[in-house]
Amino acid sequence: MKKLCLLSIPLLCISTLAPAQSGQVVEEIITRVNNQIVTRSEFDHSKDQLKDECKQQDAANPDKCFEDKEKDVLRDLIDQQLLLEKGKDLSINGDTDLIKRLDQMRKEMKLESLEDLEKAAASQGISYEDFKQNMRNQIITQKVIGEEVGGRLSVTKDEIQKFYDDHKSDMQQPEEIRLSEILVAPAKPHLSDNAAGTPPSATPEAGAASAIDPAAQKAAEDAARQASEAASLSAAEAKANDLLDQIRKGATFEDVAKKYSDGPSAADGGALGIFKRGQLAKELEDKTFAMKAGEVTDVIRTKQGYVILKVVEHQAAGIPPLKTVEPRIQDALYYEKLQPALRAYLTKLREEAYIDIKPGFADTGASPNQTKPVETATAKESDAKKLGKKKKKKLGVL
């Protein structure tokens, strides 16, 4: 079964409780962000997540990866609190998108209901409520970033042209095509007991002396099998030609693939992926690389059955024209601008917030213009209440 997992981004953390020597649950508050708190267990858990991410991202040197990023763990937790609070100000709750994402995950895992998804989480030792809350937090922070930062960025035509001119050598590419398929596999033959023409019982006159000729029986079985296979192939070819006729009359290739293809790619509309020269059988390569994007082959006989291929994209070798790569360049420039703009926005939020960090911990995203709150008895009582709520929620009381 596919395992549940969240996208690893630095703005996520899961609250955990650390048992003390006496069996009492003790939480250490390391940071207060306005009306929210960050606990030591959340901080430690985020570091554990970072270690796992580094093992996946840089298996050859995970320790170096962790050392480079460990200093920003608290910064990222504070970022998350600031963005979540801004989400409340903007009336963003993420509930609708959360249901959509959970349902998409359910479909990918081929589960019948969201209740089954919850059971799958439990079977893997995952707190479903924590899992949902993390995903909701991710949705909210992404929406805030999109509205408050990304929506205010722009990429000009001149910037796109300059990027294209400066990176032409990096855009050199081989000829390749993107293919989709519809496969019609012949039905497997099912021979009945008498399909090979089993001789009748010996006549009374012959008695026990009559016997079936083994060679003749095998020949009859082979002939019956070949006839059955030929019939299956003929039926598959006829079906493939009928599907091709439907496409040529206007049916959508992807819809036909979803409904009738026997290939493993049927659920994806027949999508096979991208192929360079030399990666396909020569007959298929000769046919498809001679075609333009959008064109569909005739029915082709393969070992698996009869196949119809569609050339979804055909990319020529060399440097692609600007109009082909413009969307990718625009995305690259957008994300290049997004990171410093997001950092500047989070600095501004820090300057408008009250952030108190316990000695021994550092926020690498701190602004020199931040104001530190004066701790009062009321603030301490508020922290105690928040800790109590976190513990109750973790224990399923709330």
Closest CA to 307 of 256, 358, 346, 350: 256
β-bridge pairing 36-39 and 29-33: antiparallel
- Domains of the chain, CATH where assigned: 29-156+324-394 (1.10.4030.10), 176-188+227-315 (3.10.50.40)
Closest CA to 84 of 143, 132, 32: 143
Q: What are phi and psi of 15, to 5 degrees?
A: -75, 135
Look at residue 231 in the predicted model and tell me its pLDDT.
87
Strand ranges (E), 252-348: 271-276, 300-302, 305-315
Give the whole-angstrom CA distance, residue 320 versus residue 171.
7
Look at residue 209 in the predicted model and tell me its pLDDT.
44
Residues β-bridged to residue 162: none
Look at residue 100 in the predicted model and tell me its pLDDT.
95
- Give the pTM: 0.63
| The two structure tokens encoding residue 127 | 């707190």
Give the whole-angstrom CA distance, residue 380 versus residue 378.
5
Give the whole-angstrom CA distance, residue 153 versus residue 202.
91
Length of the chain equals 398
Look at residue 197 in the predicted model and tell me its pLDDT.
47
Q: Is residue 168 within 8 Å of 319, Cβ to Cβ?
A: yes
Look at residue 18 in the predicted model and tell me its pLDDT.
36
One digit per residue, pLDDT tens: the chain, 398 residues? Answer: 555 544 333 333 333 333 344 444 568 999 999 999 999 999 999 999 999 999 998 888 999 999 999 999 999 999 999 999 999 999 999 999 999 999 999 998 989 999 999 999 999 888 999 899 999 999 999 999 999 999 999 999 999 999 999 999 899 999 999 999 999 999 876 555 444 444 444 444 444 444 567 877 777 777 777 878 888 889 999 999 999 999 999 999 999 999 999 999 999 999 999 999 999 999 999 999 999 999 999 999 999 999 999 999 998 899 989 998 999 999 999 999 999 999 999 999 999 999 999 999 999 999 998 876 655 555 555 555 555 555 444 434 33
Give the whole-angstrom CA distance, residue 138 versus residue 84.
9
Look at residue 256 in the predicted model and tell me its pLDDT.
96
CA 294 from centre of chain:
27
**b/e per residue 345-384 (b: at least 16 CB within 10 A):** bbeebbeebebbbeeeeebebbbeeeeeeeeeeeeeeebe
Look at residue 154 in the predicted model and tell me its pLDDT.
95
Sheet holding 271-276, edge to edge: 271-276, 176-184, 305-315, 300-302
